[in-house]
Amino acid sequence: MELTDKVDSAMSASRVWDVLAAARASYRSEVSPHYDEVFWEVAGRVEVAGCLGKADIAALMVWKRLSARTRWVTDLMSLPDVAVRMATAEAVRAVRGTETSRGQAAGAGRAALVDLPGFHKGDALASAVLTAAAPARMAVYDRRVQQALDSLDLTLTATPGRYGRYMSLLEQLLEQGGHQAEGWTCRDLDTALYWIGGSWPTT
């Protein structure tokens, strides 16, 4: 497994959590409380339906501010909605399963999406879909999160299986956080990391 087995290489575990807590507080104070309404609306539909359709994925694209002017969007929209729902239903089942670790569930969920257009590579949109499917367990990954991990000396490589390793890393952070991690979820971690990745000072 290519994630770090310690959180205190160049920065102590306590310092990492100080930075995370400050970033989460800043995110909450500066980002509109209404910003995530689209995400939670999609998550509510997934909770009932057990899958995501093309309209749900389109909504998450807007929420993540991803460009729709790419070939894969045309390919995805050209698929029957039932085919998209079959693939996402498998992914939903995978990430909701509690018999495996977060990392294993995340890896299985990511694998279930890989044949859909737009999900062959990269984890930003896939992680948004999987987090909407299991918001209490999963977390969003993107370029800013990666920049934050790098700045905190937390190793996450781009080799295949990255999303599963990412969720294992977040789970490890929560386990090692002690009292500083009380009340935190993986979703809290990803918003803090997102904020750090937007140039939050770590030194």
Digit-coded pLDDT (tens) for 50-109:
999 999 999 999 999 887 788 999 999 999 999 999 999 999 999 999 899 999 999 999
pTM: 0.89
- Per-residue pLDDT band for 11 (boundaries 50, 70, 90) equals low
The secondary structure of residue 70, as a DSSP letter, is S
| Strand, coil or helix: 169 | helix
Neighbour count for residue 87 (Cβ, 10 Å): 19
Residue whose structure tokens are 């939670």: 40
Q: Angle at Cα 101 formed by Cα 127 and Cα 66, nearest 5°? A: 5
- Per-residue pLDDT band for 7 (boundaries 50, 70, 90) equals very low
Distance CA 15, CA 152 (A): 9
Q: Could you state, in order of their start, the residue ranges of all structural domains in the chain? A: 13-31+140-197, 37-133
Distance CA 21, CA 121 (A): 31
Helix 37-49 to helix 124-133 angle, to the nearest 10 degrees?
A: 60
Residues 6 or more apart in contact with residue 66 via CB below 8 angstroms: 124, 125
Residues 6 or more apart in contact with residue 55 via CB below 8 angstroms: none
What's the pLDDT tens digit per position in 110-138? Answer: 999 999 999 999 999 999 999 999 999 99
